[in-house]
């Protein structure tokens, strides 16, 4: 009897912790955020005292230059930290896929940046980029380039911050690509090289198209991560009020903008609005990425067919 009950009901018991904890700390805040975004809600507000404003918060931000500035920064950072990262990861994976001496050590070597902490990475890189004593300006000086004040402009902040992200994630993604590369049957390469296809050509016309599902997946994951960038730009900005991203908001990302509403201005309703706008942004870009990487597929697919005909 007990055994029967056990088999019938215990599965629900085993999955219950997830749903209970997620319900309280995930789902409920999510619904509440949506509600708050429709109100003029500050630190002292309660459900009773907050004023319902409908979509006013959304409309206000869509007209707000500072919000769009943070969107531009986020998108630039996302592009500059995703595109080079994925290309480098593919090249690295291809190299790691050869027969190598010291294979494990090499793999550990490229993965090590991923095992560090965000704050530590940001602090070290910020020092490397520092105007007066930074190694990078010193190196640039050797080839005759004047010291750059990396924090002072948007473009230079983008370069510096995205280099941190690239550094941290390239090796990790290379290992993901490597795993996928190893599942490609080897004989197709052998026949291709017997046909005289160069290894570079094999890489672009065979390996890359076959990695498509993995590339799509990694791109979407990088999109979700990239659009939420927070720790790196915050620590890079430094100064009196890092949440603003500098005096001209040079390096303020959307999450920093959210925190400005929340933690500096105590506009909770508006912070909730920015959270939803960010979420929508992530969804939109995931879909765009998906469509884009899928369209790569058809281009490569036709290229491959032609090759077979030959």
Please list every residue from 139 through 198 that binds another protein, using CB under 8 A. Answer: 167, 170-172, 175-176, 178-180, 182-183, 186, 189-190, 193-194
Kindly state the smallest distance separating residue 220's Cβ from another protein, in Å: 9
CB 278 within 8 A of CB 227: yes
Contact pattern for another protein over residues 271 through 290, marking x by CB under 8 A: xx--xx-xx--x--------
Footprint on residues 101-120 left by another protein (CB under 8 A): 101, 103-104, 106-113, 115-120
Single residue of 224, 265, 290, 297 touching another protein by CB under 8 A: 224
Give the span between the Cα atoms of 270 and 95, in whole angstroms: 48
Distances (CA, A) of 249 to 143, 193, 246, 257: 30, 53, 5, 10
Contact between 11 and another protein per CB under 8 A: yes
Kindly state the smallest distance separating residue 302's Cβ from another protein, in Å: 21
Of 58-66, 71-79, 221-229, 294-302: span binding another protein (CB under 8 A)? 221-229
How many residues lie near another protein (CB under 8 A)?
106
Single residue of 28, 52, 155, 292 touching another protein by CB under 8 A: 28
Joined tokens for residue 27: 């789902």
Joined tokens for residue 132: 């007066």
Contact between 230 and another protein per CB under 8 A: yes
CB 212 within 8 A of CB 297: yes
DSSP class of residue 244 equals G
Whose tokens are 């500059």? That residue is 80
- Overall size of the chain counted in residues: 310
Whose tokens are 């500050």? That residue is 42
Kindly state the smallest distance separating residue 277's Cβ from another protein, in Å: 10
Give the span between the Cα atoms of 114 and 134, in whole angstroms: 23
Contact between 71 and another protein per CB under 8 A: no
* Nearest to another protein of 135, 284 (CB atom): 135
Single residue of 52, 55, 131, 138 touching another protein by CB under 8 A: 138
C-alpha angle 189-190-196 in degrees, rounded to nearest 5: 90
* Nearest to another protein of 235, 244 (CB atom): 235
Contact between 29 and another protein per CB under 8 A: yes
Q: Exposed (0-12), middle (13-18) or buried (19+): which is 42, by Cβ within 10 Å?
A: middle
* Nearest to another protein of 14, 143 (CB atom): 14
Kindly state the smallest distance separating residue 62's Cβ from another protein, in Å: 18
Give the span between the Cα atoms of 209 and 140, in whole angstroms: 38
* Nearest to another protein of 18, 292 (CB atom): 18
* Nearest to another protein of 161, 178 (CB atom): 178
Whose tokens are 């550094």? That residue is 167
Question: Could you give the count of Cα atoms lying within 13 Å of 117 in the half-sphere of its Cβ?
Answer: 4
């Amino acid at each position: 009897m007990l055994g029967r009950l056990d088999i019938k009901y215990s599965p629900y018991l085993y999955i219950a912790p997830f749903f209970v904890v997620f319900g309280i700390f995930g789902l409920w805040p999510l619904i509440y955020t949506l509600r708050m975004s429709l109100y003029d809600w500050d630190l002292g507000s309660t459900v009773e005292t907050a004023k319902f404003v409908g979509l006013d918060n959304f409309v206000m931000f869509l007209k707000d230059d500072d919000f769009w500035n943070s969107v531009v920064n986020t998108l630039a950072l996302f592009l500059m930290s995703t595109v080079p990262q994925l290309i480098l990861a593919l090249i690295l994976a291809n190299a790691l896929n050869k027969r190598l001496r010291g294979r494990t050590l090499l793999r550990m070597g490229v993965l090590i940046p991923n095992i560090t902490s965000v704050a530590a990475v940001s602090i070290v890189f910020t020092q490397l980029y520092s105007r007066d004593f930074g190694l990078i300006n010193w190196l640039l000086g050797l080839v005759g380039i004047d010291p750059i004040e990396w924090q002072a402009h948007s473009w230079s902040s983008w370069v510096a911050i995205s280099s941190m992200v690239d550094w941290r994630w390239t090796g990790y993604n290379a290992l993901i690509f490597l795993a996928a590369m190893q599942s490609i049957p080897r004989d197709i390469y052998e026949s291709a090289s017997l046909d005289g296809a160069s290894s570079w050509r094999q890489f672009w016309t065979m390996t890359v198209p076959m990695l498509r599902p993995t590339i799509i997946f990694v791109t979407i994951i990088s999109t979700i991560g990239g659009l939420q960038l927070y720790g790196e730009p915050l620590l890079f900005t430094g100064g009196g009020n890092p949440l603003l991203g500098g005096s001209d908001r040079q390096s303020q990302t959307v999450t920093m903008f959210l925190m400005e509403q929340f933690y500096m201005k105590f506009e909770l309703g508006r912070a909730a609005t920015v959270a939803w706008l960010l979420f929508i942004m992530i969804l939109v870009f995931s879909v765009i990425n998906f469509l884009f990487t899928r369209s790569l597929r058809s281009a490569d697919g036709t290229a491959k067919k032609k090759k077979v005909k030959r």
